[in-house]
Chain A
Amino acid sequence: MISRLIRLLNSLLGFIVIMILWQVSVDIFEIRPYLLPSIMSVAQSAWEYRSDIFSHSLVTTVQVIYGFGAAVIGGIIISLLVFVNAPIRRIVMPVVIAIQGIPKVALAPLFVVWFGYGTMSKVLMAFFFAFFPIVISTLGGFAGTPVHLVEHFRALDASTTTTFWRLRVPSALPNFIDGCKMAMPLAVIGVIVGEFVGSEAGLGNLLLLANASARTDLMFASIITITAISGLLYGIIYLFGRLVWWRAL
């Protein structure tokens, strides 16, 4: 119990040091607040705007989860199809790679034109940001199944289906989790970019509002909230990843 507490404090130590340095340098160098507000004033404005921050956070989080969820489901389906069927692979993979080549930030205005200022355009942004890493790492996992185990299954005359479910899927799971870990922060970025380009709510929207009214303290409060949400969602994936314990072997 005590040692867990100490470990928790250890992982917070870096943040505490940064905050102290921040506060101290603002005080010592008398930096003007609109450039770098003190941590105290950021905390104050976060408290002052807590209900706004909360409701915008909710909007952003829901959009991230939808977009990420769609990327996971779509990523799994595409990975399965592409791995199992060679003609599909030859048709689909170039398209997937080409889509990854598009500067996705540039898609945001288009999505807003097509789907409006609401949720849909942000969900799509998150999807496009998160999709590729999931597909690539899952496919890598299928293909990276140890050859000697594949050979073992072949010697047992196992059907393709058996080999797939009993061997390839479990050995690809760690890679899939890694893909999700890469994809989650990207999904957050996707949503924020979407909100920058055109939105009525969300933390990206709040950030722009704060910027327009020169409230640097509120901008910082928004940025820190976005980071915290991203970290929280990442943590959830991390916990899921622990179910796939054989990854570390």
Chain B
Amino acid sequence: MAESAIVLQNVSKSFGDVNALESVSFDLNRGEFIALLGPSGCGKSTLIRLIAGLYPSDPGGEIAVFGEPVTRPSRRVGVVFQTYNLLPWLNVTSNLRLAADTRGMSKETIAERLPPMLEMLGLEQFSERYPHELSGGMRQRVALGQALLMRPDVLLLDEPFGSLDALTRDQLNVELLRLCQAHDQSVLLVTHSIDEAVLLADRVLMLSKRPGRIVEDIPINLPRPRDPRETRLLPAYASSVNQLGELMGVV
């Protein structure tokens, strides 16, 4: 079972004369959680879109998801984009099932998974509400839930909890941790928060300023299961945060 969930080899991407990414290579192993840190505009979202198969990378590089070269969006991948992927005219339940529906999952399976998902997201009372009636954090939970309902083999998260206050963010991080541990989920998470990266990830990749190159690949050796409040007290947490903070200052 050494097969990797995602393999990138020498992946570059330019838009006209803007080089967004330059020869990025890394493996995401099955069940592994990688956090991607980097300054704004360094190509993190671009990387997510490339893996999601939304557009091709420049010739010469290669991206594979579970051994298959990416030429189009793969069914084994679930993406939560930086902007909410919710339809304003659908209520929470319909938004949750949108992705699974679109991918052609059977009605029975969806019906089976909906109630526990609503419960897990803490949105049982809001199942009939519409996105504009929800708080920002609830919306991001629905967006995450929509991707999770498909049970994708690998999850790509592009700053899913950006623009949330620290407390809500912590709550969602706890939920994300629980989910990933329960399903042995492979995750690639883009974030701006060092704290979040250290709390959640097995490895942190750091991208340079544009054009984005991987400049650091740092393992996070914190015990699992993790809990934000307890994990933050560990000396290993502090040293990882410091290490990353210094590197962020340099790149």
Contacts A157-B72, A157-B73 given; indicate if A151 touches B81 (C-beta within 8 A).
Answer: yes
B62-104 at interface with A (beta carbon < 8 Å): 72-75, 77, 79, 81, 83, 85, 87-89, 98-99, 102-103
CB neighbours of B98 from chain A (8 A): 166
Docked pose: A16 CA to B123 CA in angstroms: 51
Task: From known contacts A162-B102, A166-B102, infer whether A149 and B75 are also in contact, taking CB-CB under 8 Å.
Answer: no
Known: A249-B88, A249-B132. A154 touches B54 (CB 8 A): yes
Assess the B87–A156 pair: CB atoms within 8 A: no
**Known interface pairs A148-B83, A246-B88, A246-B89. Does A156 touch B73 (Cβ–Cβ under 8 Å)?**
yes
* Contact A149 B102, beta carbon cutoff 8 Å: no
B-side contacts of A153, CB under 8 Å: 102
Encode A119-150 as 1/0 by CB contact (under 8 A) with B: 00000000000000000000000000000110
Whether a CB of chain A sits under 8 angstroms from the CB of B7 is: no
B52 at the interface (CB under 8 A from A): yes
Residue of B nearest to A244 (CB): B89
The B contact surface, by secondary structure, is loop
Q: Report the minimal beta-carbon distance from B173 to chain A, rounded to whole angstroms.
A: 23
User: In the complex, which range does the number of interface residues on chain A fall in?
Assistant: 10 to 19
Complex Cα spacing A155 to B79, Å: 7
A228 to B83, CA, bound (A): 45
Residues of B within 8 A of A69 (CB): none
A152-175 interface (Cβ within 8 A of B): 152-158, 162, 166-167, 170
Question: Given that A158-B102, A166-B102, A249-B132 are contacting pairs, would A152 and B85 also be in contact in the complex, using a CB cutoff of 8 Å?
Answer: yes
Binary per-residue interface labels of chain B (99-132) against chain A in the complex, 1 for a CB within 8 Å, 0 otherwise: 1001100000000000000000000000000101
Q: Which residues of B contact A158 (CB under 8 A)?
A: 102
The CA of A149 and the CA of B79, in the complex, are separated in Å by 12
> What residues on A are CB-neighbors of B89 within 8 Å?
170, 246
How far in angstroms is the closest Cβ of chain A from B145?
A: 14
B 44-61 binary contact with A (CB < 8 Å = 1; else 0): 000001001110000000
Contact with B along A207-235 (1 / 0, CB 8 A): 00000000000000000000000000000
Instruction: Using known A-B contacts A155-B52, A156-B103, A249-B132, determine if residue A148 contacts B88 with beta carbons closer than 8 Å.
Output: no
Compute how far the CA of A249 lies from the CA of B86 in the bound complex, rounded to whole angstroms: 13
- What band does the interface of chain B fall in when counting residues whose beta carbon is under 8 Å from A? 20 to 34
Q: State how many angstroms separate the Cβ of A223 from the closest Cβ of chain B.
A: 40
**Which residue of chain A has its CB nearest to the CB of B103?**
A156
Taking the closest CB of chain B, its distance from the CB of A167, in whole angstroms, is 7
Closest chain-A Cβ to B130's Cβ sits at a distance in Å of 8
Please measure, in the bound complex, the distance between the C-alpha atom of A157 and the C-alpha atom of B88, giving whole angstroms: 20
Q: Which of A149, A151, A154, A162 contacts B87 (CB 8 A)?
A: A149
Cα-based distance from A128 to B41 in the complex (angstroms): 49
CB-CB under 8 A from B102, the residues of chain A are 153, 156-158, 162, 166
On whether A170 and B52 interact (CB within 8 A), knowing A156-B102, A157-B75, the answer reads no
The answer to whether B73 and A154 touch across the interface, beta carbons within 8 angstroms, is yes
State which residues 233-249 of A face B: CB under 8 Å. 246, 249
Q: Please indicate the chain B residues that have their CB under 8 angstroms from the CB of A154 in the complex.
A: 54, 73
CB distance from A175 to the nearest CB of B (A): 14
Q: How far is the CA of A148 from the CA of B85 in the complex (A)?
A: 7
Contact B99 A156 (CB under 8 A): yes
Q: Which residue of B lies closest to A157 (CB)?
A: B73
List residues of chain B with CB within 8 A of the CB of A148: 81, 83, 85
Known: A151-B81, A157-B73, A162-B102. A170 touches B54 (CB 8 A): no
5 residue pairs of the A-B complex, CB under 8 angstroms, read A149-B87, A157-B75, A167-B87, A246-B89, A249-B132
**17 additional contacts, CB 8 Å, given A170-B89, A249-B132?**
A148-B81, A149-B85, A149-B87, A152-B81, A152-B85, A155-B53, A155-B77, A155-B79, A156-B103, A157-B72, A157-B75, A157-B102, A158-B102, A162-B102, A170-B87, A246-B89, A246-B132
B: residues with CB less than 8 A from A are: 49, 52-54, 72-75, 77, 79, 81, 83, 85, 87-89, 98-99, 102-103, 130, 132
What 4 pairs across the A-B complex have the smallest Cβ distances?
Answer: A152-B85, A148-B83, A157-B73, A246-B88
